[in-house]
Structure 1
């Protein structure tokens, strides 16, 4: 006898900029062995390139969503003997597992528990979708609104959420930790430490074995999005920008963050040898949003902060509290100089890279001291303009290399309808001079709905690709990635 069954509605993503075209969810997990290679992968590249992305597994609970709220999808390209293998897998967060079991979205707006379905009340909404960390022999997927998730570096399976053996006291952890190249310490932090809006920031120092050397908290002037920070040899610096959160607005179902240009931008400077008890506060001359950082260095009397900043908040994701029609402004590379010998709180600002840009990197072997070479995503304002805006703003068409010693900017143009993502620097050898190595970037081939991994000579971008590793399909646009050398993984793991 046939029975009538009430079937659930079909899976359908909204016709929205976040879920259509090149930005559409990909949702593919699996492996592709022996990717097609145009050119030759340099023999020095034996290891794994790993990056994170936000790839919605299910249509949003409330019809629309922002790009940042996708589920963590990690992609790795293992390179060995000139061959390249691709692995792609979702991070099995608590959120992902609950929604996979229900076969639908259960969590609502970005970091807003008041918009979740009742059946997941009190559950963790961490998506683990922003970046990855390799430290003390372990790989972690990171999202600043939750704790790290440990994943297997070989097959990207999830090992579980981590509190570093009970050492992590905060419910959150930064997506931008810094590794000290001299002793291997990981300097990290957490904001909104209890998982709700607050003005507290917690600072950690983790040794190369994974043991916490220190944990300290301090209060910021207001609750701010603290996405990145900077560490020099002797100081830690936080830029507190007026991307603010008001928990009462969150309760009303409004966006978690709002841009408030009426507030000041502050800088916290913490001596590494004394900690937060010796914190000093400085004030920027105007309200700005720090996007991402290059590096910090100090010379005794000055602390120098090199980063990208914008005159607006991240308005493609979050609204302006005073002007709902405000447009997002492009970031520029700025150098902020703090006079440590002065009793005042002023900060000197100069534009040291007169070119729009984002996703900055340096040769991390030389970080925390003055560097010469800087790489970033950008475009050529005349010859190669940016592509039409997508769900995370206008995509770039180029990568840039700025040599501060010569003052020159060199560009790599990815091609028509092509958008490079954050570059990743890999030294040619452990003892190579600064900047001598390779630059990797995922490149979205938008007209072909496909993705490549491009390898460049880091100090000769204009020469073009040394190798193009072609993916047979599109993978979702990502945020941040790292290189893990094969010798760090060990010979028993395939190297």
Structure 2
């Protein structure tokens, strides 16, 4: 096919100034027909063939590449090509599962937010002794996916709005299909079973070998009756409103009575899975109801604990220690005008909520995991009702938390997590998506950091409580050495819930002039003992996703490997990179790099899990 010339029409933020020369013609070559970008007023399915001097224009193209749709599935695993290094013989045999959105535009002109993209499950089967990595991928066949994708023709037609998107045309008005369970956020392997999780719906079980979708599986089996009595021992008026709202959310908008969070925890020493759920009506009421469930390795429910607080909050991630659950309340409020626009289909449903800037601090709740009488409302455990007030921060993801008790019985807790300011966080523009013009704008994620505008970064939260639980102290320290921003923090999973030394995260080095904060272009390693930060970067126009730690058989905390997906924007390809966790920031950090075929290049993923062969 002959190359053609096009004029590029860029969004206003990337347009040249009056003093700049007029836009010039750039030659394009056809791109793989299996991928489609979110439109940016440029020709679809084409990428620049020559290096462009304008850094902002290159950044714009690179950013779109990270959110290119991929429709192909790979049901039979294929062997990946080794392009650097060698797979270690002592690398544990297992599978790295990664999920995230796979599709952002259908065949009828509707575009959706990345958070509403259908779950696209990727699997990397790693065989260290034989030096092979095999790759397979499939869409999670949720109810929404089966409705929106024709299995015969392979064409897509979006019918569900999703919480963050607005569909065009006749599907825009009076569309009550809001809760689009796309199973695209995280992966759980427990009790020999594999699940894809989403923030607002029931998990979907997946066959670990074939990646076939088995079906939805609700392991919170106490919320099937939406008419269950709501006994919060609080305002009778709120109880009445909850009784009215709950059946509407369930019956009309198909929201489950309890919303299982996509982030779960594993107590490494007790060998327990811990999951957390919120009530559906928490989205619109000025209080929050949290339920924690703990399971043994055979998926038997060991305990269930419920707590209600008088805060209207949004929780995406949380923490636990040996004796506590820890909730960070990101304060939100109901937006009346936004709610009306959302109900009418003129704005995404998430517009019904807005960040509550009036709260000067952030509230942290320490909820007791265990009590002598199994009653979380007992007087002996009543201290949890009064939150610990910390400097205002919007918590994004938690790496880990642990606690210690001194000889006098005083309790100290330390949490490592990523957070940003309330001023930076914006429900409507996450990932730079502008639903009003369907533009994916990288400048929204790369705004200049000011006095109140703090971008995502690693923080260390320290809490001290005396033995009678009457005195509380809290401090927050920012860890931003050598990194402009960071997120997706992880640790060696063998330390989960207990004292750790090292934290790893995806980070930005700030070397890219326009994409100075996001997407991430480095892997960060933080030493909690020395407070040293080390950085590994793959190179120019290469970006990374969430790192994943793989432990070696003999336990030394950082004696292991890091798996990370590398997005080579200049070549429109992605690789699986294996790093030596001990050498991050030093020489020979890269152990091996394996290439995903260009035709199977997939978009930026969210969260993954490593599952060794048992």
Q: How does 1:368-407 map to 2 (within 5 A)?
A: 368-381=497-510, 384-385=511-512, 388=515, 394-407=518-531
Distance in 2, Cα, partners of 1:200 & 1:132: 24
Residues 1:242 and 1:172: Cα distance change in structure 2 (over 3 Å): same
Q: What SS is found at the alignment partner of 2:160?
A: coil
Q: 5+ residue gaps in structure 1? A: 1-10, 488-495
Secondary structure of the structure 1 residue equivalent to 2:145: helix
Distance 1:306 1:60, change over 3 A: farther
2:459 alignment partner in structure 1 = 334
Answering whether residue 113 of structure 2 is matched by residue 66 of structure 1, we say yes
Which stretch shows the higher mean deviation, 241-250 or 84-93? 241-250
1:280 Cα deviation (Å)?
Answer: 3.7
Mapping of residues 40-439 of structure 1, within 5 Å? 40-43=86-89, 44-56=91-103, 58-59=105-106, 63-80=110-127, 81-101=130-150, 103-110=156-163, 121=176, 125-164=180-219, 166=221, 170-193=257-280, 197-198=284-285, 199-246=288-335, 249-253=338-342, 254-255=347-348, 256=350, 257-263=353-359, 264-274=361-371, 276-277=376-377, 278=381, 279-300=384-405, 301-312=411-422, 315=425, 317-318=427-428, 329-341=454-466, 342-344=469-471, 346-352=473-479, 354=481, 355=483, 356-381=485-510, 384-385=511-512, 388=515, 394-429=518-553, 431-439=554-562
Equivalent runs, 1:449-464 vs 2, <5 Å: 449-461=572-584, 462=586, 463-464=588-589
Q: More deviation in 96-105 or 78-87?
A: 96-105
The Cα shift of 1:351 comes to 2.6
SS at match of 1:33: strand
Q: Where does residue 481 of structure 1 map in the other structure?
A: 608
1:27 aligns with 2:71: yes
How far is the alpha carbon of 1:32 from its aligned partner? Answer: 4.8
CA spacing shift, 1:445–1:112, aligned 2, 3 Å:
closer
Local SS of the residue matching 2:71: coil
Query: Do 1:282 and 1:345's aligned partners in 2 also have CA atoms closer than 8 Å?
Result: no
Equivalent-residue separation in structure 2 for 1:188 and 1:446 (angstroms): 36
Cα shift at 1:66: 2.1
Question: 2:455, 2:569 → 1: CA distance?
Answer: 22
Structure 1 residue 245: Cα displacement: 5.0
Work out the CA distance in 1 between the residues paired with 2:162 and 2:415. Answer: 34
Q: Is the Cα–Cα contact under 8 Å of residues 113 and 121 in structure 1 kept in the other structure?
A: no
Residues 250, 132 of structure 1: alpha-carbon distance in 2 compared, 3 angstrom cutoff = farther
Which structure has the bigger radius of gyration? 2
Cα distance between partner residues in 1 of 2:162 and 2:261: 20
Corresponding residue number in structure 1 for 2:566 = 443
For 2:107 and 2:358, locate their aligned partners in 1 and report how far apart those are by CA, in whole Å: 33
* Secondary structure, aligned partner of 2:396: strand
Structure with greater helix share of residues: 2
Q: Residues 73 and 160 of structure 1: is their aligned pair in 2 closer, same or farther, counting only changes over 3 Å?
A: same
Tell me if the contact between 2:412 and 2:464 (Cα under 8 Å) persists in the aligned partners.
yes
Residue 377 of structure 1 contacts residue 400 of structure 1 at CA under 8 Å; is this kept in 2? yes
The whole-number CA distance in structure 1 between the counterparts of 2:109 and 2:393 is: 31
Indicate conservation of the 8 Å contact 2:112/2:167, yes or no.
no
In 1, Cα distance between equivalents of 2:512 and 2:164: 34
Q: Secondary structure at the match of 1:357?
A: strand
2:107 and 2:263 map into 1 onto residues whose CA distance is 27
DSSP 3-state at the match of 1:479: coil
The 8 Å contact of residues 160 and 178 in structure 2, kept in 1 or not, is answered as no
Shift in CA distance, 260/419, structure 1 to aligned 2, threshold 3 Å: same
CA RMSD of aligned residues (A): 3.1
SS in 2 for 1:127: coil
- Go from structure 1 to structure 2 and tell me whether the alpha carbon gap of 1:114 and 1:76 turns closer, same or farther (over 3 Å shift): closer
Q: Determine the C-alpha separation between the residues in 2 that align with 1:451 and 1:12.
A: 16
Distance in 2 (alpha carbons) for counterparts of 1:145 and 1:185: 23
Offset, 1:20:
4.1
Other structure's SS at 1:360 match = strand
Q: Is the 8 A contact 1:421 1:442 kept in 2?
A: yes
Q: Distance in 2 between matches of 1:386 and 1:372?
A: 33
Helix, strand or coil at the partner of 2:312: coil
In structure 2, distance between residues paired with 1:281 and 1:27: 50
Spell out, residue by residue over 1:236-273, the C-alpha distance to the aligned partner (whole angstroms, 9 max, x if none): 10100124555873353144142222224211111111
Residue 215 of structure 1 and its aligned partner are, at CA, apart by 2.7
Going from structure 1 to structure 2, the CA distance change for 1:338 and 1:315 (only over 3 Å counts) comes to closer
Q: Unpaired runs of 5+ in structure 2?
A: 1-34, 41-59, 225-256, 406-410, 435-443, 448-452
Structure 1 residue 124, shift from structure 2 partner:
5.2
TM-score (norm 2): 0.70
Change (3 A) 1:168 1:447: farther
Q: CA deviation at 1:359?
A: 0.8
CA distance 1:55–1:314, change in 2 (3 Å): farther
Q: Distance in 2 between matches of 1:447 and 1:458?
A: 27
Structure 2 Cα separation of the partners of residues 476 and 486 of structure 1: 27
Change beyond 3 A, Cα 1:251–1:71:
farther
